[in-house]
Amino acid sequence: MFKKLISMMTVDMAIDLGTANSLVYVKDKGIIINEPSVVAVNNKTGQILAIGEEAKKMVGKTPSYITATRPLVNGVISDFEVTEQMLKYFIEKASASSKKLFGIGGFSRVIIGIPCGVTEVERKAVRDAAKNAGARTVFLIEEPLASAIGAKLQIQEAGGNFIVDIGGGTTEVAVISLGGIVVSRSLRVAGDKLNDDIIQFAQKEYKLLIGERTAEHIKISIGSAMPSKEKKEMAMRGRNLVTGLPEEVVIFNDDVQRALERSVRQIVSAIKTTIEETPPELLADVMTDGIFLAGGGSMLKDLDVLISKETKMPCKIVDDPLTSVVRGAGIALENIETLSEVMSKDDEEEAFT
Ligand SMILES: Nc1ncnc2c1ncn2[C@@H]1O[C@H](COP(=O)(O)OP(=O)(O)OP(=O)(O)O)[C@@H](O)[C@H]1O
Ligand SMILES: [Mg+2]
């Protein structure tokens, strides 16, 4: 009876704390939060003014006493306090419905995606932040694993599954078999670096200073991983670094492709190296099923075509690549008993479950 009551008051939620976007998934409700990982803080009072989309709009436009920051860099926490506040906001929002029913919260079980290969200190930081934010039990799951589950790949079987999650801060390449990661590689080159490449290009080529949002807009609109016969152009607004005045310059798709080339090559090369490290038995499966791409960065035009060409293997973007981590983590939490060997949990938290 007591156990049942506890389970009724428990809110299970999955969180993808991404460098660029944070998502929260709640069982039976689906994705309830999908916002940029940006927090606006009043420096004088330490008060949080806005989180998500609203805060992102403030980036580069705030008065001096407000800072709009991204609390995560390359997939790991860089600002602990702000991350904790953000998690608190997420957990409170997700528990809101259970609070209405029972007048209490704080029974939440939270599963959070983390990049593979992060240090024990970094894992602890995520756990502590979630605990301080009100989570009762915290599970951590490696993001490529969550992504693969979200993409409905058969990860529990003995075959090999090759997944590449290209996010904002990190590209993670992993080979999964029997529910665990066999080989993995994490690279700090992903969507954000591509934006930066465009900023650098504009500066070098046109002496034009453009903002990050402009660069991202250019990347998404006319960027590509491979040269194309099709000609596209776009007006890019910024400030001329010599005159200091606002200026508009036209940028072409082949310029953008060249600006992105070096970083794209690094991503492809990380995939190739991982293939070289994959046990041959598993590689045979990958040759048939192909490489699966997830994460927002995987949507760069023709990146899948380039990876397929370079690796001589089929390559496919998973359905809804921006949400696969959070959906997969949600599924993992619902099946925590069967998946427990691949998950890591706070030991001291056993008591209540
Ligand atoms: N259509 C698109 N073409 C190219 N890039 C895109 C597209 N849509 C989104 N992106 C990029 O995807 C990135 C965000 O992806 P995602 O939300 O998966 O990252 P994240 O999970 O927050 O980061 P990380 O996993 O590295 O912590 C951004 O850099 C964004 O510019
Ligand atoms: Mg991600």
- pLDDT above 90 for 201: yes
Instruction: Quick: pLDDT tens for 280-293.
Output: 999 999 999 999 99
Asked if residue 273 has pLDDT above 50, the reply is yes
pLDDT at 60 over 80: no
pLDDT tier, 330 (very low <50, low <70, confident <90, very high otherwise)? very high
Do 123 and 63 lie in a common domain? Answer: yes
Asked if the structure places residue 336 within a domain, the reply is: yes
Confidence of residue 231 (pLDDT cuts 50, 70, 90): very high
Please check whether residues 110 and 160 belong to one and the same domain: no
Domain membership of residue 353 (yes or no) is no
| Least-confidence region, from 32-41, 301-310, 340-349 | 340-349
pLDDT of residue 166 exceeding 60, the answer is yes
CATH of the domain at 195: 3.90.640.10
**116 CA from centroid of ligand 1 (Å):** 17
Inform me whether the pLDDT recorded for 347 exceeds 50: no
Q: Which residue has the higher pLDDT, 108 or 143?
A: 143
Range of the structural domain that residue 108 is part of: 2-146+324-347
pLDDT at 150 over 70: yes
Of the ranges 50-64, 315-329, 334-348, which one carries the lowest mean pLDDT score? Answer: 334-348
pTM here is 0.91
Torsions phi, psi for 228 (to 5 deg): -135, 155
**Tens of pLDDT, residues 72-131:** 888 888 888 888 888 888 888 888 755 555 544 556 899 999 988 888 998 999 999 999
Residue 47 — φ and ψ, nearest 5°?
Answer: -75, 140
Nearest residue CA, atom 25 of ligand 1? 167
Task: Give domain status of residue 56, yes or no.
Answer: yes
Which residues have C-beta within 8 Å of that of residue 225, sequence separation ≥ 6?
Answer: 257, 260, 264, 300, 301, 302, 303, 305, 306
Determine the pLDDT at residue 8.
64
Structure tokens at 20: 């660029």
* Helix intervals (H) in the chain: 2-9, 53-58, 80-102, 120-132, 143-150, 191-206, 212-222, 253-277, 280-289, 303-311, 324-334, 336-339
The string of DSSP letters for 132-182 reads: HTT-SEEEEEEHHHHHHHHTT--TTSSS-EEEEEE-SS-EEEEEEETTEEE
Question: 172-181 b/e with 16+ CB inside 10 Å = b?
Answer: bbbbbbebeb
> 33 and 53: one domain?
yes
Kindly report the CA angle at 325 between 324 and 331, in degrees rounded to 5?
85
Assess whether the C-beta atom of 161 lies below 6 angstroms from ligand 1: no
The residue that leads in pLDDT, 324 or 99, is 324
How many other C-beta atoms are found inside a 10 Å radius of the C-beta of residue 43?
11
Q: Is residue 160 part of a domain?
A: yes
CATH of residue 137: 3.30.420.40
Ligand 1 atom nearest the C-alpha of 216 is: 31
pLDDT at residue 348 greater than cutoff 50 = no
Give me the half-sphere count of Cα atoms (radius 13 Å) on the Cβ side of residue 263. Answer: 30
Contact 153, 181 (CB under 8 A): no
Residue 69 above 90 pLDDT?
A: no
Please indicate, yes or no, whether residues 177 and 209 belong to a single structural domain of this protein. Answer: no
Confidence of residue 43 (pLDDT cuts 50, 70, 90): confident
Confidence (pLDDT) at 79: 87
Which residue minimizes the CA distance to atom 3 of ligand 1?
A: 300
Ligand 2 geometric centre to CA of 207 (Å): 33
What confidence score (pLDDT) does residue 352 get?
32
Report the range of poorest mean pLDDT among 116-120, 139-143, 233-237.
116-120
Residue 227 lies in a domain: yes
Q: Are residues 238 and 333 in the same domain?
A: no
Q: What percent of the chain has pLDDT over 90?
A: 67
Residues 171 and 245 in one domain: no
Q: Residue 166: inside a domain, yes or no?
A: yes
User: Does residue 97 sit in the same domain as residue 220?
Assistant: no
- 238, 260, 282: which is the final residue of a domain? 260
Q: Is 191 in the pocket of ligand 1 (CB under 6 A)?
A: yes
Domain boundary residue, one of 221, 243, 260: 260
Q: Is the CB of 168 under 6 A from ligand 1?
A: yes
Which residues have their alpha-adjacent CB atom under 5 A from ion ligand 2? Answer: 18, 167
Residue 276 within any structural domain of the chain = yes
How large is the average pLDDT for residues 32-54? 90
Structure tokens at 148: 């693969």
Q: Which of 260, 280, 304 is the last residue of a domain?
A: 260
| More confident: 335 or 209 | 209
245-273 mean pLDDT: 98
170 and 281 fall within a common domain: yes
Give the chain's domain count: 3
25 and 67, same domain (yes or no): yes
Note whether 77 and 136 are same-domain residues: yes
Q: Are residues 201 and 98 in the same domain?
A: no
In a domain, residue 352? The reply is: no
Q: Are residues 124 and 171 in the same domain?
A: no
Average pLDDT rounded to a whole number, residues 303-318: 98
> Virtual CA dihedral for 98, 84, 295, 159, nearest 10 degrees?
-80
> Is the shortest distance between the CB of 21 and ligand 1 below 6 Å?
yes
- The Å distance, Cα 6 to ligand 2 centre, comes to 32
